């Protein structure tokens, strides 16, 4: 049964300096055309609505910038999805998350979102330093972040998450501790932290290639990540995943479904779906996706069937990303290396489970790479 639904809204007013997501930069968002395309994809999907015997547990609108959708179009989209999946948003049984930019949050838009069923907003704050926001090509200034939080609460949306980016270039002189303090002062229920990465063909990639900027050393990346753990923990947040911290009772149910390996369905350009064995992804470009739908063709661009080994490795990786960790004896052939990680302090054993320490989370990719090589050597 489909319990977790992701909808990709590709539109943005500009491309951020670090972004390599599948977006469509538009001055005017074709809201009605987009909604028609997504609903047409849903109608053509297998299984059809008649096979959806249970209501949704989570619905996540990501992007892109979903808050750019004209409010009437967003309301129509949500109403149609709730009808298709026999959900009852008025009871708030469904966690409905909308990714939003601060500048899009107005009393009018927030009121429509809440009436349409949105009960959680992930706000793209990124920084509280105007110079940094300009460097990132963000469309808001620092003052808009607090204004947006207050406006959302006035509209009845209390479950608010803030996104922040750390490990920025040295020349920006970004005060990471101040940004953390500013975020905490707004009393969000959830905070997501992302270390800056260089993706190919982004403005940041071009700046670095010509020597205009460079990323900080690994030690400062680690210092900022560990400082976030210290300050957020002191403020009542608990890290339940490598990049996500929440107040009690406010973990993201939708993202937790991803990390626990549950199945989900994606709609819209570039959206991914997973049934536990097969991963599918849609045509990424908006215009190509729209044409495919209008011509009655499938929106799926490709798929992969995971082998047993791939599924096992993915389960290992996802488990170590979360605070739940993995059972101590779940992977007996890796016990020697896991013991070494325990001795190094990168893993902790608690209640029969192995969990990453903050230092271990910093090394998670290299830990998994090491485990992968050992798995392949033993195959």
Q: How many residues are there in the chain?
A: 379
Q: Are 264 and 378 in contact (CB under 8 A)?
A: no
Q: 129 pLDDT exceeds 50?
A: yes
Q: How many CB atoms lie within 10 A of CB 333?
A: 10
Question: Parallel, antiparallel, or unpaired: how do β-strands 24-25 and 11-12 relate?
Answer: parallel
Burial letters 179-215, b for 16+ CB under 10 A, else e: bbebbbebebbbbbbebbeeeeebebeebeeeeebeb
Predicted confidence (pLDDT) per residue in 336-352, tens digit = 888 888 999 999 998 88
pLDDT band at 89 (very low <50, low <70, confident <90, very high): low
DSSP, res 323: T
Average of pLDDT values for 61-65?
A: 96
| Omega cis (within 30) before 47 | yes
Q: How many CB atoms lie within 10 A of CB 366?
A: 10
Spatial distance between the Cα atoms of 327 and 259, rounded to a whole number of angstroms? 15
Helices 308-321 and 364-378: angle between axes, nearest 10 degrees: 150
81: which residues sit within 8 A by CB, 6+ positions away? 5, 7, 42, 56, 59, 87
Spatial distance between the Cα atoms of 23 and 13, rounded to a whole number of angstroms? 10
Predicted confidence (pLDDT) per residue in 165-178, tens digit = 999 999 999 999 99
Q: Are 272 and 254 in contact (CB under 8 A)?
A: no
Q: Nearest Cα to 213, choosing from 225, 229, 196, 226?
A: 196
pLDDT band at 49 (very low <50, low <70, confident <90, very high): very low
* Alpha carbon 255 to its chain's center: 7
Q: Are 151 and 182 in contact (CB under 8 A)?
A: no
Average of pLDDT values for 284-307?
A: 96
Two structure tokens written together for 345: 């302090």
Looking at residue 27, its pLDDT comes to: 86
What is the SS3 assignment for 48? coil
Rg (C-alpha) for the chain, rounded Å, is 21
Average of pLDDT values for 229-247?
A: 98
Looking at residue 376, its pLDDT comes to: 57
The enclosing H or E element of 349 equals strand 347-350
Burial class from Cβ neighbours inside 10 Å (0-12, 13-18, 19+) for residue 305 reads: exposed
Looking at residue 37, its pLDDT comes to: 98
* Alpha carbon 219 to its chain's center: 25
Q: Are 356 and 320 in contact (CB under 8 A)?
A: yes
E runs forming strands in 198-267: 238-241, 244-246, 265-267
Predicted confidence (pLDDT) per residue in 181-224, tens digit = 999 999 999 999 999 988 898 899 899 999 899 888 889 999 99
pTM: 0.94
Looking at residue 90, its pLDDT comes to: 58
What is the SS3 assignment for 186? coil
The pLDDT > 90 percentage for the chain reads 76
Looking at residue 140, its pLDDT comes to: 96
Torsion of Cα atoms, 32 then 35 then 39 then 40, to 10°? 60
Q: Are 364 and 242 in contact (CB under 8 A)?
A: yes
What is the SS3 assignment for 332? helix
Question: Parallel, antiparallel, or unpaired: how do β-strands 300-305 and 326-327 relate?
Answer: unpaired
- Backbone φ and ψ of 24, nearest 5°: -130, 110
Q: Please, what is the average pLDDT of the chain? A: 92
Average of pLDDT values for 347-373?
A: 88
Q: Are 199 and 205 in contact (CB under 8 A)?
A: yes
The Cα diameter of the chain in Å comes to 60
Q: How many CB atoms lie within 10 A of CB 326?
A: 20
């Amino acid at each position: 049964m489909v319990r977790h639904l992701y909808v990709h809204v590709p539109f943005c007013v500009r491309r951020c300096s670090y972004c390599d997501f599948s977006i469509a930069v538009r001055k005017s968002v074709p809201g009605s055309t987009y909604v028609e395309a997504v609903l047409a994809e849903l109608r053509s999907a297998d299984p059809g609505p008649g096979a959806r015997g249970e209501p949704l547990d989570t619905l996540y609108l990501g992007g892109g910038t979903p808050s750019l959708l004209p409010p009437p179009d967003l309301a129509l989209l949500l109403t149609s999805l709730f009808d298709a999946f026999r959900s009852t948003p008025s009871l708030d049984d469904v966690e409905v998350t909308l990714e939003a930019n601060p500048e899009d949050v107005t009393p009018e838009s927030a009121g429509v979102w809440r009436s349409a069923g949105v009960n959680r907003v992930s706000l793209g704050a990124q920084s509280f330093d105007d110079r940094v926001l300009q460097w990132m090509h963000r469309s808001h200034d620092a003052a808009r972040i607090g204004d947006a939080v207050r406006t959302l609460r006035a509209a009845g949306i209390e479950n608010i998450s803030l996104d922040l980016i750390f490990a920025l270039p040295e020349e920006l002189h970004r005060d990471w501790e101040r940004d953390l303090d500013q975020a905490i002062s707004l009393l969000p229920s959830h905070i997501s932290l992302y270390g800056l990465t260089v993706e190919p063909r982004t403005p940041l990639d071009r700046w670095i290639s010509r020597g205009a900027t460079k990323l900080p050393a690994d030690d400062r990346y680690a210092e900022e990540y560990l400082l976030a753990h210290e300050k957020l923990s002191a403020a009542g947040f608990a890290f339940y995943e490598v990049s996500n911290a929440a107040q009690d009772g406010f973990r993201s149910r939708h993202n937790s479904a991803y990390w626990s390996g549950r199945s989900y369905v994606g709609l819209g350009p570039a959206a991914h779906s997973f049934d536990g064995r097969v991963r599918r992804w849609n045509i990424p470009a908006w215009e190509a996706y729209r044409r495919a739908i209008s011509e009655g063709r499938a929106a799926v661009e490709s798929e992969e069937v995971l082998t047993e080994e791939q599924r096992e490795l993915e389960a290992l990786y996802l488990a170590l990303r979360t605070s739940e960790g993995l059972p101590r004896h779940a992977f007996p052939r890796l016990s020697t290396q896991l013991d070494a990680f325990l001795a190094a302090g990168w893993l902790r054993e608690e209640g029969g489970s192995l969990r990453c320490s903050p230092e271990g989370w910093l090394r998670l990719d290299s830990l998994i790479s090491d485990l992968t090589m050992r798995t392949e050597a033993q195959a």
